[in-house]
Amino acid sequence: MSDQAQLLPGTLDLLILKAVSLGPLHGYGVLLRIAQITGQALLIEQGALYPALFRLVRQGLLQAEWGTSENNRRAKFYELTTAGRKRFMEETESWNRISSAMTAALAAQAEEV
Amino acid sequence: MKLPAYFSTPVARYFRRSEIADEMADELHSHIELRADDLERSGLDRAMAERRARVEFGARERYVEESLEALGGNFFDTLVRDVRLAVRVLRKSPGFLIAAVFTLALAIGANAVVFGIMDGLILRPLQVPQVERLLGTHYGDGSGFQAYPNYRDLRDHNHSFEDVAAFNMVFVGLDTGNDPAAATGFSATGNYFDVLRIHPYLGRFFHPSDERGPNSAPYLVLTYAYWHSRFQDDRGVIGRVVQLDKHPYTIIGVAPPGFQGTILFVAPDFFMPIVNQEQVSPEGSLTSRGSIHSIFDTFGRLKPGVTPAQATDDVNAIGASLAKTYPREVSHTATTLLRPGLTAFTDPARAFVGGLMLLSGLILLAACANLGSLFAAHAADRSREVALRLALGSSRRRILRQLLTEALLISLAGGALGLMASFALLRKLSTWQPFAGAPLHIPVSPDAKLYIVAVALAVVSGLLFGIVPVRQVMRANPYEIVRAGSSPRFGRRMTLRDVLLVVQIAICAVLVTSSMVAVRGLVRSLKSNFGFEPRNTMLLGANLGMAGYEADRVLPTQKRLIDAMKSIPGVEQVGLVNNYPPLVYTAAFRANVFKDDTRDMSNANAAAAPYKYEVSPGYFEAAGTHLLTGRTFAWHDDKDAPPVAVANAEFARKMFGSVAGAVGKFCRRQNGVRLQIVGVVEDGKYLGLTDDHEPAIFLPTPQAPLNNGYLVVLSRRDPEELAAAMRSKAHDVDSGLPVDVRSWTSMLSVVLFPGRMATAALGVLGLMGAILSITGIFGMAAYSVSKRMRELGIRMALGAKRTEVLKAALGRAVRLLTVGSAAGLILGIMASRLLVYIVYQATSRDPIVLAGVVLAMSLLGLLATWIPAQRALSVNPVILLREE
Q: Which of A52, A55, A69 sits opposite B34 (nearest CB)?
A: A69
Residue B40 and residue B151 share a domain? no
Residues of B in contact with A55 (CB under 8 A): 70
Q: Determine the average pLDDT of the residues in B338-360.
A: 78
Residue B697 lies in a domain: yes
pLDDT of residue A49 exceeding 70: yes
- Which of the four pLDDT bands, split at 50, 70 and 90, describes residue A1? very low
End position of a domain, from candidates B73, B103, B119: B73
A29 contacts on B by Cβ (under 8 Å): 34
Q: Is residue B726 very low, low, confident or very high in pLDDT (cuts 50, 70, 90)?
A: very high
pLDDT at B354 over 70: yes
Q: Are residues B756 and B732 in the same domain?
A: no
Angle between helices B802-835 and B847-873 (to 10 degrees): 150
Share of chain B above pLDDT 90, in %: 26
Question: What is the average per-residue pLDDT within B713-725?
Answer: 90
Kindly determine whether residue B27 and residue A76, on different chains, have CB atoms separated by under 8 Å: yes
- Give the domain extent around A63: 5-107
Query: Do both B661 and B767 map to the same domain?
Result: no
User: Could you tell me if B820 and B697 lie in one domain?
Assistant: no
Residue B542 clears pLDDT 70, i.e. is over it: yes
Best of A46, A62, A76 to disrupt the B interface (most B CBs within 10 Å) is A46
| Model pLDDT for residues A65-89, shown as the tens digit of each residue | 888 888 888 899 999 999 999 999 9
What interhelical angle do B346-381 and B749-787 show, nearest 10? 10
Establish if A74 touches chain B: CB-CB under 8 angstroms: yes
B647 and B596, same domain (yes or no): yes
Tell whether A29 is covered by a domain. Answer: yes
Reported confidence tier of residue B477, pLDDT bands at 50, 70, 90: low
- Measure CB to CB from residue A45 to each of B27, B30, B58 and give the nearest one: B58
Q: Which of A17-26, B6-15, B497-506 has the highest mean pLDDT?
A: A17-26
Total structural domains in chain B?
4
- pLDDT number for residue B312: 93
Give the mean model confidence (pLDDT) for residues B620-629: 94
Q: Does B277 lie in the same domain as B227?
A: yes
pLDDT digits (tens, 9 = 90+) for B197-211: 999 999 999 999 999
In a domain, A10, yes or no: yes
The average pLDDT across B263-267 equals 81
Q: B134 near B311, Cβ under 8 Å?
A: no
B357 and B469 share one domain: yes
Confidence at B11, pLDDT banded by 50, 70, 90: very low
Q: How far apart are CA B114 and CA B454, in angstroms?
A: 11
- Which pLDDT belongs to residue B393? 63
Residue B621 covered by a domain: yes
Tell me, yes or no, whether B673 and B806 share the same domain.
no
Cβ atoms of residues B335 and B150 within 8 Å: no
Total length of chain A: 113
Single residue among B292, B322, B340 that ends a domain in this structure: B340
Residue A26 placed within a domain: yes
Mean of the pLDDT values across residues B486-501? 58
Check CB contact under 8 Å for A27 and B35.
no
What is the average per-residue pLDDT within B73-99?
75
Q: Chain B contacts of A75, Cβ < 8 Å?
A: 27, 30-31, 34
pLDDT digits (tens, 9 = 90+) for B304-331: 999 999 999 999 999 999 988 988 788 8
CATH number at residue A30: 1.10.10.10
Domain match, B703 and B807 both? no
Candidates B50, B3, B41; CA nearest to B25 is B3
Bridge partners, B241 (sequence order): B250
Q: Which amino acid is located at B413 in the chain?
A: A
- Contact across the interface for B31 and A46, Cβ inside 8 Å: yes
Residue count of chain B, please give it.
884
* Whole-number percent of chain B with pLDDT over 70: 89
Shortest CA gap B58–chain A (Å): 6
Q: Which of B324, B340, B356 is the last residue of a domain?
A: B340
Is the model more confident about B234 or about B487?
Answer: B234
What per-residue confidence (pLDDT) applies to A93? 92
Task: List pLDDT tens digits, range B140-179.
Answer: 787 888 899 999 999 999 999 999 999 998 888 888 887 7
Find chain B residues with C-beta within 8 A of A53's C-beta.
Answer: 67
Assess whether pLDDT exceeds 70 at residue B18.
no
Find the CB nearest A27 among B27, B56, B59: B27
Question: Are A45 and B26 a contacting pair at CB < 8 A?
Answer: no
Tell me the one-letter amino acid at B331: S
A27 touches chain B (CB under 8 A): yes
Q: Residue B36 is part of which domain span?
A: 5-73
The alpha-carbon gap from A34 to the nearest alpha carbon of chain B, in Å, equals: 15
- Select from B60, B63, B394 the residue whose CB has the most chain A CBs within 10 Å, as the one to mutate to test that interface: B63
pLDDT score of B12: 44
Chain B residues closer than 8 Å to A73 by CB = 30, 33-34, 37
Look at residue A6 and give its three-state secondary structure.
strand
Question: How would you class B551 by CB atoms within 10 Å of its CB: exposed for 0-12, middle for 13-18, buried for 19 or more?
Answer: exposed
Residue B567, pLDDT > 90, answer: yes
The number of domains in chain A is 1
Mutate which: B22, B23, B24, B27, vs A, most A CBs within 10 A = B27
The tally of CA atoms less than 13 A away on the side-chain side of residue B860 is 29
> For residue B814, how many other CB atoms are within 10 A of its CB?
17
Q: Is A81 within the bounds of a domain?
A: yes
Amino acid B598: pLDDT: 87
This prediction's pTM: 0.65
pLDDT tens string B649-658? 999 999 999 9
- Say how far apart CA B502 and CA B500 lie, in whole Å: 6
Q: Given A46, A73, A76, which is nearest B56 (Cβ)?
A: A46
- Residue B875 inside a domain? The answer is yes
The alpha carbon of B453 is separated from its chain's Cα centroid by a whole number of angstroms, namely: 18
| Residue B796 domain-assigned (yes or no) | yes
Strand partners, B247: B244
> Which own/partner pairs from B634-643 qualify as long-range (CB within 8 Å, at least 24 positions apart)?
B635/B559, B635/B702, B637/B700, B637/B702, B637/B703, B638/B700, B638/B702, B638/B703, B639/B702, B639/B703, B641/B703, B642/B676, B643/B673, B643/B674, B643/B675, B643/B676, B643/B699, B643/B703
pLDDT (0 to 100) of residue B76: 64
Instruction: Give yes or no for residue B613 having a pLDDT over 80.
Output: yes
pLDDT of residue B43 exceeding 90: no
**Nearest-by-Cβ selection for B63 from A26, A29, A48:** A48
Residue B60 has its nearest CB partner, among A27, A47, A69, at A47
Contact B485/B450 with Cβ under 8 angstroms?
no
Q: What confidence tier does B495 reach under pLDDT thresholds 50, 70, 90? A: low
Lowest-pLDDT choice from B122-131, B153-162, B247-256, B357-366: B122-131
Chain B residues interacting with chain A (CB cutoff of 8 angstroms): 23-24, 26-28, 30-31, 33-35, 37, 56-60, 62-63, 66-67, 69-72
Tell me the average pLDDT of chain B.
82
Pick from A26, A45, A51: CB nearest B70: A51
Bridge-based pairing state of the strands B247-254 and B219-222: parallel
Query: Do residues B757 and B739 both lie within one domain?
Result: no
Q: How confident is the model at residue B481 (pLDDT cuts 50, 70, 90)?
A: low
- pLDDT > 70? residue B4: no
Residue A52, chain B, CB below 8 Å: the answer is: yes
B381 assigned to some structural domain: yes
| DSSP reduced 3-state for B154 | helix
